[in-house]
Amino acid sequence: MSAKYSLQAVATASQNRAAIESHPRIWQSNRYVYPVISRRSGGLSIGVNLNPDKRCNFDCIYCSVDRRIPGDVAPVDIRVMALELGVMLDQAGSGDLFQMPPFSQVTPELRRLNDIAFSGDGEPTSHPELLECCKIAKAALDARNLASVKIILISNATLLHRPRVQKALEFLDGCKSEIWAKLDAGTPEYYAMVDRSAFSFAQLLENIAACARRRPIVIQSLFMKIDGVPPAPEEVDAYGRRLADIIEMGGKLRRVQLYTVARQPAVPSVSPLNFQELQSIAEAVRRILSHPTPFPVEIFP
Ligand code: SF4
């Protein structure tokens, strides 16, 4: 890399940083829809928060949702959500969004609208009208001829076996869509420590495998230091083996995304891994999965 290119890259990165680091799920007066420049999406992701009440059936030690501030417990009004989504898509399409800070700082290559993502302050599949919400997203994209824009469902995978959720997944199968399922551990003990859920690890793995047997999915996993210590090599090895189990059970994985803590975690003893630590987990996972062909493992330090 030349010195000139290197300086340009640094300038570009710092230009985008404000928008990438700005991850509030509140945008102007919106209740549900918010824009994000997402490293994992490589562009603009329009988030839909179906859990403004901040309730979740996980209690991850790294969660960045600030539950000291009470959420909005009113039922989600999906007509308001639809209106907000339409306005946001229009603002992204017209470029008006990129006139407003911090998005006015974003460099042109990251202004590409990549997706609508059901994510937010809890588990989106817990919303009783998930299917209807997916239909609203698809209709909003169709009305604007945005056939290349994906609908992404980001889930902790606990409810993927419910018939109501499966109907939404089947609807998404007919759209340009991706399911991103969370898996943060290789052993029940580490899962219990990190995700702090009453939901069993065995059922979680079965849900992910069953979902991946029906369509290729993305696995997203957060690794961190706890009390300054990265996950033990045995845990990383077990994690890679759980992914291998999913594939052996007939599951199809598009790719694995490894990331680390980027915002204030729920538990103060949690801190981010550095690039080398994340990279070494990725290499261990690639070694386990890369038979017979290399397996895509992406890292987001
Ligand atoms: S699943 Fe997501 S929202 Fe729920 S506690 Fe974990 S990080 Fe937070």
**Structural domain tally of the chain?**
2
Q: Are residues 299 and 190 in the same domain?
A: yes
Q: Model confidence over 117-132: pLDDT tens digits?
A: 999 899 999 999 999 9
Residue 139 has pLDDT above 70, yes or no: yes
| Domain, as residue range, for 279 | 183-301
Phi and psi angles of residue 147, each rounded to the nearest 5 degrees, phi first: -70, -20
Q: Are 48 and 85 a contacting pair, CB within 8 Å? A: yes
Closest ligand 1 atom, residue 195 Cα: 6
User: What does the alpha-carbon distance between residue 116 and residue 120 come to, in Å, rounded to a whole number?
Assistant: 12
Strands (E), 95-168: 113-119, 150-155
Closest ligand 1 atom, residue 51 Cα: 3
Fill in the amino acid letter for 99: Q
Q: Is the CB of 282 under 6 A from ligand 1?
A: no
Q: Given pLDDT bands bounded at 50, 70 and 90, which one contains residue 29? A: confident
Residue 299 is predicted with a pLDDT of 95
Domain's final residue, options 145, 177, 209: 177
Q: Given pLDDT bands bounded at 50, 70 and 90, which one contains residue 98? A: very high
Q: Are 141 and 151 a contacting pair, CB within 8 Å? A: yes
Instruction: Give the neighbor-by-neighbor strand order of the sheet with 253-259.
Output: 33-38, 43-49, 113-119, 150-155, 177-182, 217-222, 253-259, 297-300
Closest ligand 1 atom, residue 62 Cα: 7
The answer to whether residue 216 is domain-embedded is yes
User: What does the alpha-carbon distance between residue 189 and residue 175 come to, in Å, rounded to a whole number?
Assistant: 37
Q: Are 169 and 211 a contacting pair, CB within 8 Å? A: yes
* Gyration radius of the chain over CA positions: 19
The answer to whether residue 108 is domain-embedded is yes
Q: Are residues 187 and 171 in the same domain?
A: no
Q: Are residues 226 and 103 in the same domain?
A: no
| High-pLDDT (> 90) share of the chain, % | 82
Q: Model confidence over 249-285: pLDDT tens digits?
A: 999 999 999 999 999 999 999 999 999 999 999 999 9
Closest protein CA for atom 3 of ligand 1 = 122
Q: What is the pTM of this model?
A: 0.92
Give the CATH number of the domain where residue 198 resides.
3.20.20.70
Residue 169 has pLDDT above 90, yes or no: yes
